[in-house]
Amino acid sequence: MDKLLHIHPADNVRVLREPLAAGEAVVIDGQTVLSAVPLSLGHKVATRFIQKGEQVIKFGVPIGSATEDIPMGTHVHLHNLKSDYLPTYTLTDEYIAK
């Protein structure tokens, strides 16, 4: 079974069906990529290069925008993604208590 769940043709991320170890290889559209970090079940991985500002699409639905360029095979989460619908209260200076 493929470790990455792919639901919709418009998706630019896939979701882990099981944990992925750092350095472990996965195949995305015929290309082998290595995970830079360990990832848990349910986390997202970019299926192609996602440009800063581009919408991130999961299960055919935009879930936010990339806050930086995201290479193929990279973990997509709060460190490089912001919601386009709800405030993101983590990892931004304006929400850090001073």
- pLDDT attached to residue 85: 78
Among residues of the chain, what percentage have pLDDT more than 70?
86
Q: How many domains, the chain?
A: 1
Q: Which domain holds residue 58?
A: 4-95
HEC letters along the chain: CCCEECCCCCCCEEEECCCECCCCEEEECCEEEECCCCECCCCEEECCCECCCCEEEECCEEEEEECCCECCCCEECCCCEECCCCCCCCCCHHHCCC
What pLDDT was estimated at residue 96? 47
Q: What's the rounded Cα separation, in Å, for the pair 6 and 46?
A: 11
Q: What is the pLDDT of residue 63?
A: 93
CATH number at residue 71: 2.30.130.110
- Calculate the average pLDDT of the chain: 89
Q: What average pLDDT does this structure show over 60-80?
A: 95
Whether residue 47 has pLDDT greater than 60? yes
pLDDT tens, position by position, 25-35: 999 999 999 99
Q: Structure tokens of 61? A: 């639905």
Comparison of pLDDT for 9 and 96, the residue scoring more: 9
- What is the arithmetic mean of pLDDT over 68-85? 93
